[in-house]
Amino acid sequence: MILRRVGRNAGQVSVLNLINRIMKLDENTSTHTHDDCCSAKTDTHSKHNDHSHDHDHDHDHGDHSHGSADAGILKSRWMLWLSLTILAVFLVLTYVLKIELPRTVEIGLMLVAYVLAGNKTVALALRKASRGDFFNEFTLMTIATFGAFYIGEFSEGVAVMIFYEIGELFQDIAVSRSKRSIKALLDIRPDTVTVLRDDKALQVTPDAVRIGEKILVKAGEKVALDGEMLSASGTFNTAALTGEPKPQIIERGEKALAGMIAIDKSVEIEVQALFRDSKLSRILEMVQEASARKAPTQLLISRLARIYTPAVFLLALLIIVIPALFVADYNFDQWLYRGMVFLVIACPCALTISIPLGYFGGIGLASRNGILVKGANFLDVITKIDTVVSDKTGTLTKGVFQVQKIESNIAKTDFIRIAASLESYSTHPVAKAVVASVGDIALNKPTDVEEIAGHGLKGKVDGRDVLAGNSKLLDKHSVTYPAELASLVETLVMVAIDNNYAGYFLIADEIKDDAAQAVGELKSLGISTIMLSGDKEAVVKKVAGELGIAQSYGGLLPEDKVRIVQELKDQGRRIAFVGDGVNDAPVIALADTGIAMGALGSDATIETADIVIQNDQPSRIAAAVRIGKITKSVVYQNISLAMGVKVAVMALGAGGVATLWEAVFADVGVALLAILNAYRIQGRKI
């Protein structure tokens, strides 16, 4: 990927593996997260095999609605519900109705209930133990429940396993829900496309279509590949790409992107990119890569867990053994019970699931709001920024330039033809505006074209030397031009033919509808905005004044933007840079957080950025900051809740005050509260 920061790709999981993980949520969602954090081993391959075979929950993803998917998870756990029923009946008979069952009946019922609830957990613990992996939550739960059985507390041992499995169940549901909006992206890629070949409409797979071929998209169908509209116009639902429900009208010659849905009629599109290179495919890759990048908080918890889990086993052992050295009436069963209580409450379930679930919820919330966050770490970083440095054209302005005025010293038709022929070489919005102004005038192919960054174009048209760009380009080539042009604020494309000034195109851009709102919202969050642009200083100052931006710089080359951002960083400021052009890619890579405008943005900029605004609305920058703050707040709430309760109950358990019942309710209760707290992110309004 162009200009991609190597450091940010460290440890990145392959796209193929990520697709496999997302598509198999029902196989490894629950135990994968726990095992990664609780186990002292790091063999990813063995973990995956263990989870998919030993702890399979067989969720139903046939329907993407919450109800049907959750119902599938609940139905698949029928053995757990039967086990819970047996325990509930036993407790009612014993403690409510005061019926004393024979000991053999009690043991038999509890063993059946235990096998129904915990068979997969015990099997997984034994399999891991056979590989030398003893320090994991499955072994922890197995030892704790076997210990309870050893001292005759059968119902408590069964309760520990049942409520642990219920916690796992709610975890499955929460994770499944939080991932569903992201997984749904995989379903917006069409399986087939109608391609027009030899006057025939053929159904083929999207990856079989070549660049330059024509495809037919019927009303209600999804566009399968990026291309140019051949039909006069069409109305499209673009929500899958931008998060915006408002339909978009696309005219002939404009781009139609994969993932859009034709609304009103059938349209023809000329394919301009292969299936794997479409904007939709890149979006999917970004989302999939995001789940592989952990936030610093997650990484810290993972590292601590490799110390925490064996330490817990050691402390539990010491609780059982050490009192024998100084307690006069030492009773092994009594201290074994306390050790088992300590083990149960020490299980770090709440931390290991609620933290990554919180970050994944934040990524999902951002995705539903048209914001692609490429990793949980970037949700953390964006909460720390104090300055947003923004490009002007295409970022705060629409970047849709139109020629307002043409002045020339030669025949106007010749002037337009020569200038537009050279500008047709460039993809810059200003160049496109010049080309769009030609009407029916035929253009010629330019030769020896050279694009000079921050200046314009140089080349030959009809054998004549042509310059088209700003005043700096003409100054560089010693071309004189009318002095009054320097006082014009608007964008000018000045043209010189054979080193003589020939005229100019006056071009105007428009400020985006929500640009002033974006600056205001950032200010309310304590974040200042600085605008950088290659445009004329006067134009930049005018736009900055209209938007309420106090600090702005114009007439900049790409290296000038890099220099200014580096100077700001040297002052200790935390910088987010927002841009859309290929010349913004270096400075986006330099910033603490790089943000790209995804609809108009260049491929290099989108690939380099940490966050992509899919609908090009600058107000989504503040939304991304708010999402990061919400996510961080929930994660730290969960850490405080889990650690506070666990430390307190572990102390009570070691002192003989808390029983296994308190331990299991505290452990599962805290885990459920943490999961529900993390799941709140999904319903937040931004």
d(CA 306, CA 348): 11
Least Cα distance to 357 among 24, 36, 19, 17 occurs for 36
Burial-class residue 55 by CB neighbours within 10 Å (0-12, 13-18, 19+): buried
Measuring CA to CA, how many Å separate 583 from each of 212, 312, 580, 591?
Answer: 28, 53, 8, 14
CB atoms < 10 A from the CB of 31, how many? Answer: 28
- Phi and psi of 651, rounded to 5°? -65, -40
Length of the chain measured in residues: 686
Least Cα distance to 248 among 262, 235, 232 occurs for 235
Residue where the block lists tokens 């609940």: 74
Alpha-helical (H) ranges within 92-152 are 103-130, 137-150
Cα diameter, the chain: 112
d(CA 523, CA 264): 41
Q: Check: CB of residue 628 under 8 Å from CB of residue 362.
A: yes
Considering just the CA atoms, what is the radius of gyration of the chain in Å? Answer: 32
Cα dihedral angle (493, 495, 499, 501), rounded to 10 degrees? Answer: -100
Element (H, E) at 404: strand 402-408
Burial-class residue 538 by CB neighbours within 10 Å (0-12, 13-18, 19+): middle
**Catalytic: which of 50, 54, 391, 509?**
391
Read off the tokens for 315: 């402390």
Residue where the block lists tokens 């019927």: 218
For residue 507, list its beta bridge partners: 403, 491
The DSSP code sequence of 487-519 is G--SEEEEEEETTEEEEEEEEE--B-TTHHHHH
Q: Check: CB of residue 638 under 8 Å from CB of residue 677.
A: yes
Q: Check: CB of residue 319 under 8 Å from CB of residue 658.
A: no
CB atoms < 10 A from the CB of 249, how many? Answer: 11
Element (H, E) at 203: strand 200-204
Least Cα distance to 291 among 544, 559, 21 occurs for 21
Helix (H, G, I), strand (E, B) or coil at 424: coil
Q: Check: CB of residue 631 under 8 Å from CB of residue 682.
A: no
Least Cα distance to 665 among 160, 171, 316 occurs for 160
d(CA 624, CA 169): 31
DSSP 397: B
Helix (H, G, I), strand (E, B) or coil at 183: helix
Q: How many helices (H) and strands (E) does the chain have?
A: 24, 22
Query: Is 667 considered catalytic here?
Result: no
Q: Check: CB of residue 578 under 8 Å from CB of residue 621.
A: yes
Measuring CA to CA, how many Å separate 551 from each of 456, 537, 543, 565?
Answer: 26, 12, 11, 13
Element (H, E) at 26: helix 25-38
Alpha-helical (H) ranges within 426-536 are 429-436, 471-476, 515-524
Q: Catalytic positions, please?
A: 391
